[in-house]
Structure 1
Amino acid sequence: MGLPTWLFYDHPEAYVRAFDVAGKKWSIVVSTAPHFFIGGNDNALWALLVGVLFSFGAAGYLQMIVTRSRRIQMLVDERTMQLRTANQDLVADIAARKHAEQELQLRDRAIEASANAIIITSAEGPDYGIEYVNPAFERITGYAEEEALGRNIDFLWQRDSEQPGIEELRACLQEQREGQAVMRNYRKDGTLLWSDMYIAPVRDDYGRVSHYVIAQYDITATKRYESELEFQTNRDSLTGLANRTLLRDRLSQAISYAYRYNHPIWVLFIDLDRFKFVNDTLGHQAGDILLKAVASRMNSVVRDTDTISRMGGDEFVVVLPERTDSGLSTSIVRRLMDAIAQPLTIEGHEFFISSSVGVSVYPADGVEPETLIKHADIAMYRAKETGRNNFQFYTSEMNERALERLRIEGDLRLAIERDEFLLYYQPQVDLVSKKIIGVEALIRWQHPELGMVPPARFISLAEETGLIVPIGNWVIREACRQSKVWQDEGFIGLRTAVNLSARQFAQQNLVQSIQDALTATSLLPASLEIELTESLVMADVEQAIGILRDMKTLGVQLSIDDFGTGYSSLSYLKRFPIDVLKIDRSFVNDITTDPDDAAIVTSIISLAHSLRLSVIAEGVETREQLDYLQQHGCDQIQGYFFSRPVTAEVMTQMLRDGTRLQLTDDQPA
């Protein structure tokens, strides 16, 4: 049975091979599939078998070649992929390296361009030598790089080694940690450099510290600003003394210490006498110069442990805590007063400034800062009331007077509006004619509840508050009005004297205000006499001479009151355009018992006559005083021996009656 002559195959891996077997043409289907079919046109079995065997061998060979080719191709593809991946990694690595280099360059430029100093030190102690500094370090410290390399950073604080920040930096090095410290460094030229320093360790791949990086920030300007803020908060901007805030803090600390060790504290309240006169005559700039000079003088007297504070204006408070090596005594107060009282020249003018001081003592006068200051203030006002230029210790009675003073001050502001003031007049008598030739106008206050308030209780208060200016202007106008009344009654030669205070004398429009009073009342100028104290005109001689000359042009009379108590010299006295010298009552009181006072009175009378001036003695109360004055050529007297101050009505009646000085035993009371 012959083989089929047909052949079919349907496997995609099959292919046909044609060859001759026994002269016959055969087509063999060779396939890599598990089944195959062959076919031909001959039924010779041998030929078929040979063909089949050959086909199998060829197919296996071909299969081997194909498999190997594929394996090689896969290997090539795999290697190609690996090369491609390696190339991509290499490109990425190169890019990363370039980026890292750029970042390093950027960081290096940033360090080089930094406005703050950067310092890199070795981690090897004990020197921790500097290995790098940036240009900012050179600019900030003044040290060149070569001057810093290899050195320990402690050369920046020189001998200023007592700083908490130094211990912090050393601890950071020893403990290999980060830290921060504010320190006082010093530049190469020795100037102070405040630095905020940050330190951080640099670790290698194994975590070991190899270096330290220190960032140094220059905070000198910030510290200076903080100091200015602290100064403004706690110090008086003009004098540099402690202000109220710092005073209370210091006094509180002193009280705590004094309580613990049972020590006393003295609190002094100091007020400059007649400071307003300087301000009003030369201006506030001159006043500021005086205040700074006084502050400097007081600082030179007190101890380092004492505190001086300016409370405002011309008021100062001094805290004197007791130390173990020295107690507290009044000599400290006197040293302060003497230092203040030294002559002071301002803008070519010489001033003599005294002070009034009140003293309170802890714990007797209070245990709280506010209480001690208040009581010292009260004692200071008592010192002013007793004549100024002295000191007083606080007493409980002073508190009652202080309360009364507050009441009087409030009422005083309304006294002019309520028309509560009136003038009394004390006659002045000529010792030759024995007639009344003048009067001195003296203010009184008719208080609706307190009754008649004497000048001693309110004049000094009016001076301090500035109310003396409107009160003084009222006195001038009222005196001119009453003098005009007497003038109209025929007492043409009668002279009315009015005292001027320092505050009035300092008025810019003083001369004009006097002129206005004369004009308003139509009073003859020669009937008005302006009295000024010797100390007032001597405070600023040149200024006083100019004002006196301006007043003299009005036609009024001028006199120097309380003569002999100030600092006059003959050269100055000759330049004053004055008409009368008044001998102070302090010399007249003991004229018959004290040879020195008698000699002074005699000298004043002689001096006045040599200058063609009239002399009037005030405070004459006895026949013996009168006799002495008359014997030595005194021109006029004023005092209780002839008459106390009286109302305008009584004075008018005395003028109408022609009352004279009677040198008999029954003198008027």
Structure 2
Amino acid sequence: MEPEDKDRPAEIRRDASGERLFLQLIDTLPKVSVQGYDKDRRVIYWNKSSVDIYGYQKEEAIGRKLEDLIIPAEMAPDVIRLHKDWIEKGISIPSSELLLKHKDGRPVPVFSSHVMLKENTSSPEMFCIDVDLSEQYAAREELKFLATTDSLTGLPNRRYLVAELARVIYRQRENNGQFAVLFIDLDMFKEVNDTLGHTWGDKLLIAVSERLRSGLHSSNIIARFGGDEFVLVMPEITSADEATALADQLLELFRERFSFDSENVYITSSIGISLYPRDGEEAETLLKHADAAMYFAKESGRNRRHLFTDEISRKLKAQREISTRLHQSLGNGEFELVYQPQFDMTSQSVTACEALLRWRPQDPSLAVSPDIFIPIAERSDLIILLGDWVLEQACAQVSAWKQAGFNIRVDINVSGKQLEQADFFEILESYRARYGLSPQDLGIELTEHVLIKSNDRMLNGLRGQRDKGVEISIDDFGTGYSSLNYLKIFPITNLKIDRSFVVEAPENELDGALLEAIVTVGHRLKFNIVVEGIETDRQAQFCKALAIDYAQGYWYSKPLSATEVVRFFEQASDHPAPDHR
């Protein structure tokens, strides 16, 4: 006890002792800054944690104003007003998370509470209790980074892009400005990925990301949208020419090869461009329209850019209308299967039929051909519903023919989305069982593109079906990637060569040589060779001379209804390979 305390009453001595203990306690609190301020907001108390958290020594802080120490400049007017309102009007300052300022200028995240002592006196004192949130803030920022950053490339991800697009839209709407969205898709990336492997594919994506990032102005926003797709946002433009000029610059970036150790990879890109507000005023619309323009660029030959146009808009509108009518027609039973016979070129007998889907709406003027409505259906889950319908109808028809004494295999086309369904093979098995069919009664046709996109589960499922006796064909072979490496991997039994290889083969030496080469390789790999689209006797004879196994086309038969198929079988048994042109 200090000497001067001896003459004080016991209550006062206890109060003074308690105050010293309290001050000692708050002075040593870890990660809790306690500061005291007088009515003019000058520092009257500064504990040790305040030194650690804000960087000012006690001697530096005492006597200085709050707003000159730890308050960022943009917050100062509000802090002064709030302090004044508390002193003059008794309105306390609510507790909240704040981003204050360290001596060196860096932000300091804290949870701040406030207490007013000696309130309603001439010398009120405000104490601030700030809990250091630096560790929590760092962890939160790390989580935010992980949530908004693509882990492979380090670019912002789709989630960040959508949020940033919303901010750009808000800003340009306020300023009556415009900006551009560029949708970038790598051409033939899947082929590179499958040929060199996923490790090289990942290296290529990283290299593309770095090249895009280094070749762009810092004001532009570049994000990995997913897979081999990237989106770039030009947050402010004055004309469409600026966007197309940047797109041309991006295309130029891809002209230089990508080098990885001993591998050199050349790859191009297709770019679609949408403009705000001309092509949309919502993030989803702008992305959709840029994506549509990108597909238009890809369909036009790849390695080019294309602006979203009224033509594309009309095309999208027409596709939406067709999609709506397709849904309605499926519910109204307005589809039909027709069957095109496939001939054994040795025995000239019918060995199978390909089931082909036809749309028969009540108003025939609304109908479009399969090459139009099938791609539209494939862009949505409608293709799965149509695929299930085709599968059941084909099974029912094969069963009916078998009961009538006609044993004929029917091959159905299976889309990528069908094959992606986890229960596709279970559905296939269940339909075969329901209609009493064997694996040999129903064949599967898949395009190269579908097979290339197949994962191990799908390929293993196809192997299981092949091993049971299901005929599995690559349809339209030669129009896709046509890699011999794929033929080694895919669980197939037949190659169906596209008609484009047959049309000029008898007259054109190069086409004939290509067709012969495909047949030779296919036979060496122990595949049956099926040629589609034979329309003349000369084409038929040419294919027969190459020892092609099976033929299909209008020279032999057009696609037939189920009733016509029975008559055709009966005629074919008496007159092999009839001319049904």
**Displacement of 1:319 after TM fit?**
2.5
What CA deviation, in whole Å up to 9, does each residue of 1:309-347 have, x standing for no partner? 7899999764235779x94338838959999xx99xxxx
Partners of 1:251 and 1:319 within 8 A in 2: no
- Which residue of the partner structure matches residue 117 of structure 1? 33
1:469 and 2:469 are equivalent in the alignment: no
Letter in 2 for 1:408: I
Distance (whole Å) between structure 1 residues aligned to residue 414 and residue 302 of structure 2: 18
- Which residue of the partner structure matches residue 86 of structure 1? none
**Displacement of 1:221 after TM fit?**
5.8
- Which residue of the partner structure matches residue 516 of structure 2? 602
**Displacement of 1:646 after TM fit?**
2.9
Task: Identify the match of residue 357 of structure 2 among 443, 459, 467.
Answer: 443
Distance (whole Å) between structure 1 residues aligned to residue 165 and residue 301 of structure 2: 28
1:437/1:108 CA distance change after superposition, 3 Å: closer
1:320 and 2:238 are equivalent in the alignment: no
Partners of 1:422 and 1:445 within 8 A in 2: yes
1:555/1:91 CA distance change after superposition, 3 Å: closer
1:226/1:520 CA distance change after superposition, 3 Å: closer
Structure 2 unaligned runs (5+)? Answer: 63-69, 81-86, 88-92, 115-121, 190-200, 259-266
Structure 1-normalised TM-score? Answer: 0.59
Distance (whole Å) between structure 2 residues aligned to residue 274 and residue 445 of structure 1: 32
Distance (whole Å) between structure 1 residues aligned to residue 301 and residue 370 of structure 2: 14
1:484 and 2:399 are equivalent in the alignment: yes
Partners of 1:268 and 1:317 within 8 A in 2: yes
**Displacement of 1:423 after TM fit?**
0.5
Partners of 2:409 and 2:441 within 8 A in 1: yes
1:377/1:307 CA distance change after superposition, 3 Å: same
- Which residue of the partner structure matches residue 405 of structure 1? 319
Partners of 1:234 and 1:245 within 8 A in 2: no
Distance (whole Å) between structure 2 residues aligned to residue 234 and residue 391 of structure 1: 28
Aligned-pair Cα RMSD in Å: 5.7
What does 1:180-579 align with in structure 2 at a 5 Å threshold?
Answer: 182-185=99-102, 193-194=108-109, 218-220=132-134, 239=157, 241-242=159-160, 244-253=162-171, 265-268=179-182, 301=212, 303=216, 304-307=218-221, 318-321=232-235, 327-329=242-244, 332=247, 358-362=272-276, 365=279, 372-373=286-287, 375-376=289-290, 379=293, 393-449=307-363, 450-492=365-407, 494-540=408-454, 542-567=456-481, 570=484, 573-574=487-488, 576-579=490-493
- Which residue of the partner structure matches residue 67 of structure 2? none
Partners of 2:181 and 2:290 within 8 A in 1: yes
Partners of 1:299 and 1:308 within 8 A in 2: no
What does 1:602-641 align with in structure 2 at a 5 Å threshold?
Answer: 602-622=516-536, 625-641=539-555
1:625/1:254 CA distance change after superposition, 3 Å: farther
1:298/1:333 CA distance change after superposition, 3 Å: farther
Letter in 1 for 2:102: N
1:602/1:367 CA distance change after superposition, 3 Å: same
Give the SS at the match of 1:639.
coil
1:643/1:511 CA distance change after superposition, 3 Å: same
What CA deviation, in whole Å up to 9, does each residue of 1:166-205 have, x standing for no partner? 999xx9xxxxxx9x99544389xx9974368999xxxxxx
1:191/1:118 CA distance change after superposition, 3 Å: same
Which structure would you say has the larger Rg?
A: 1
**Displacement of 1:623 after TM fit?**
5.2
Distance (whole Å) between structure 2 residues aligned to residue 454 and residue 119 of structure 1: 79
Moved more, 531-540 or 572-581: 572-581
Give the SS at the match of 1:329.
helix
Partners of 2:443 and 2:472 within 8 A in 1: yes
What does 1:65-80 align with in structure 2 at a 5 Å threshold?
Answer: none
Distance (whole Å) between structure 2 residues aligned to residue 543 and residue 314 of structure 1: 22
Distance (whole Å) between structure 2 residues aligned to residue 437 and residue 272 of structure 1: 42
1:108/1:607 CA distance change after superposition, 3 Å: same
Distance (whole Å) between structure 2 residues aligned to residue 532 and residue 583 of structure 1: 12
**Displacement of 1:501 after TM fit?**
1.1
Distance (whole Å) between structure 2 residues aligned to residue 313 and residue 574 of structure 1: 25
- Which residue of the partner structure matches residue 75 of structure 1? none
**Displacement of 1:102 after TM fit?**
3.4
Give the SS at the match of 1:550.
helix
Give the SS at the match of 2:243.
coil
Give the SS at the match of 1:447.
coil
Letter in 1 for 2:545: Q
1:162/1:322 CA distance change after superposition, 3 Å: farther
**Displacement of 1:604 after TM fit?**
1.5
1:226/1:354 CA distance change after superposition, 3 Å: same
Give the SS at the match of 1:102.
helix
Distance (whole Å) between structure 1 residues aligned to residue 414 and residue 61 of structure 2: 75
1:651 and 2:565 are equivalent in the alignment: yes
Give the SS at the match of 1:531.
strand
Letter in 2 for 1:530: I
Partners of 1:185 and 1:194 within 8 A in 2: no
Partners of 2:110 and 2:131 within 8 A in 1: yes
What CA deviation, in whole Å up to 9, does each residue of 1:509-543 have, x standing for no partner? 33332233223333343232211222322334644
Distance (whole Å) between structure 2 residues aligned to residue 388 and residue 480 of structure 1: 40
- Which residue of the partner structure matches residue 59 of structure 1? none
Partners of 2:351 and 2:409 within 8 A in 1: yes
Partners of 2:251 and 2:269 within 8 A in 1: no
Moved more, 230-239 or 520-529: 230-239
What CA deviation, in whole Å up to 9, does each residue of 1:624-644 have, x standing for no partner? 544543333322222344443
Q: Considering Cα pairs closer than 8 Å and 6+ residues apart, tell me whether 1 or 2 has the greater RCO.
A: 2
Distance (whole Å) between structure 2 residues aligned to residue 244 and residue 628 of structure 1: 57
Structure 2-normalised TM-score? Answer: 0.67
Letter in 2 for 1:320: M
**Displacement of 1:377 after TM fit?**
5.5
Partners of 2:158 and 2:225 within 8 A in 1: no
Distance (whole Å) between structure 1 residues aligned to residue 25 and residue 535 of structure 2: 96
1:134 and 2:51 are equivalent in the alignment: no
Partners of 1:247 and 1:309 within 8 A in 2: no
Give the SS at the match of 2:379.
helix
Distance (whole Å) between structure 1 residues aligned to residue 282 and residue 460 of structure 2: 50
What does 1:164-179 align with in structure 2 at a 5 Å threshold?
Answer: 164=73
Distance (whole Å) between structure 1 residues aligned to residue 228 and residue 382 of structure 2: 18
**Displacement of 1:106 after TM fit?**
4.5
**Displacement of 1:581 after TM fit?**
0.9
Distance (whole Å) between structure 2 residues aligned to residue 91 and residue 578 of structure 1: 104
